[in-house]
Amino acid sequence: GAVVSQHPSWVICKSGTSVKIECRSLDFQATTMFWYRQFPKQSLMLMATSNEGSKATYEQGVEKDKFLINHASLTLSTLTVTSAHPEDSSFYICSAVGDRLYGYTFGSGTRLTVV
Amino acid sequence: KNEVEQSPQNLTAQEGEFITINCSYSVGISALHWLQQHPGGGIVSLFMLSSGKKKHGRLIATINIQEKHSSLHITASHPRDSAVYICAVRSSYNTDKLIFGTGTRLQVFP
């Protein structure tokens, strides 16, 4: 079946630094990838939609200069949290859509802690 | 009011019990998904439905398009079924974005 690999699974960083999270589709080409943020005991909140080779579309209220998304190939999308602050601490998860017959495949998520 | 509502929010069961989780939505959809999120955070897609009923092992998902309602059933529940179950719909008008329910937290005790 379709697999999406997300790395790292957890990361701790200092305030002011940047963190990059990778999402790779291992056995299919992902035409569209989604990035979500999840707070404890809450549902997923869509941050942005990225299509290969084009700029990401950000949801209202999401700072595009803070959360940089790159979808350079059909198998890789990256989310970079720039100048991280403690309030950016959260669980980030990606999902990918290739062949719509198979629906969505989710990464395993990244727990970011900014100290 | 959320576009996707789930009930119950929390559910506890004894091993072996039959479990039902409900999902109602208020928008036109092209597909409905049932997802499972384990405590570690990873999400697994259980079903994608656009009509009728699907079965996979002990899991059964049904959808009634006219009533805008779907159910997820777990037969012979087991402690390893403990997870958060999330209903999500793909709108008819936006073919890719998912609208998520708030999830149902299930705990199955031995």
Record: contact B98-A34, CB cut-off 8 A: yes
Q: Please report the beta strands in A39-115, taking only residues with DSSP state E, as ranges in sequence order.
A: 45-51, 57-58, 67-73, 76-81, 90-97, 104-106, 110-114
Mean pLDDT, chain A, whole residue set: 91
Per-residue pLDDT band at B95 (split at 50, 70, 90):
low
Q: Which residues of A touch B43 (CB under 8 A)?
A: 93, 95, 106, 109
What are the C-alpha distances in Å from B99 to residues A11, A23, B4, B23? 28, 21, 7, 12
Q: How many Cβ atoms sit within 10 Å of the Cβ of residue A113?
A: 13
pLDDT at residue A102 greater than cutoff 70:
no
Q: Is the pLDDT score of A90 beyond 70?
A: yes
- Is 70 exceeded by the pLDDT of residue A99? no
Chain B CA closest to residue A37: B41
The percentage of residues in chain A with a pLDDT greater than 70, rounded to a whole number, is 96
Percent of chain B, pLDDT > 70?
97
